[in-house]
Structure 1
């Protein structure tokens, strides 16, 4: 089989070392049955975040994951951590294997401060829905101060 020459758009600007990295990256992405790094594939756990009037809603796609394999933790007033532990399946018989196994974590920066009071999480049909109440800002009316 004739080897096709690899085209490198970086040779002139960065030299042959960058071309080698570029070639290896393309080979890794094209190799059948190889796991691609989560960074290349995206965030790993895709989420939608909604800033509602009195709460923050986080929805994450977790296809094929059981509720016992998911942990949701509020690590700070504006930070939520979702951890998924996928069981390792047998390695024999795969022609291509792209689905990840092992542990994945996604740290979500929330748009407002929230509290764990009244927090709720549910996993249904591969979709995780987390609802968190916002921390109430101080209520009341400010009284202006006059001089003299």
Structure 2
């Protein structure tokens, strides 16, 4: 099992290394993403990011854990207060966490999709939630969503 995981990791890294990855995290034409959340919630805010492979071949999508996002691999988010654009999450003054160094690696068939979910605890208010998937030098942004937390 360990040997097969190492082989898979090596194959992913090899394919990522051979791909022409931009030095800056720019949107990649083979991927698109959609962020969804309830318009209004009480309590935890559930988020769903669906990443679509719009290319013509099966592709790997790899996501490391983010130390500023409670060690989440995906979706990565930024929450802004409506009207002020103050960043509510991730907290600008929060210390980064020490996360496991594993990768969430998934194969996405041509024309297929993969779904990532997570929840956020936010104080009551109106927010714009920006979401994206970042992994392997790729940033796949989604359209922001507006939510009300009661």
Q: Is TM (by shorter chain) over 0.5?
A: no
Query: Is the strand fraction higher in 1 or 2?
Result: 2
* TM-score, normalised via structure 1 length: 0.35
**Rg: which structure is higher?**
1
* TM-score, normalised via structure 2 length: 0.35
Q: Which has the higher contact order (CA 8 A, sep 6+)?
A: 2
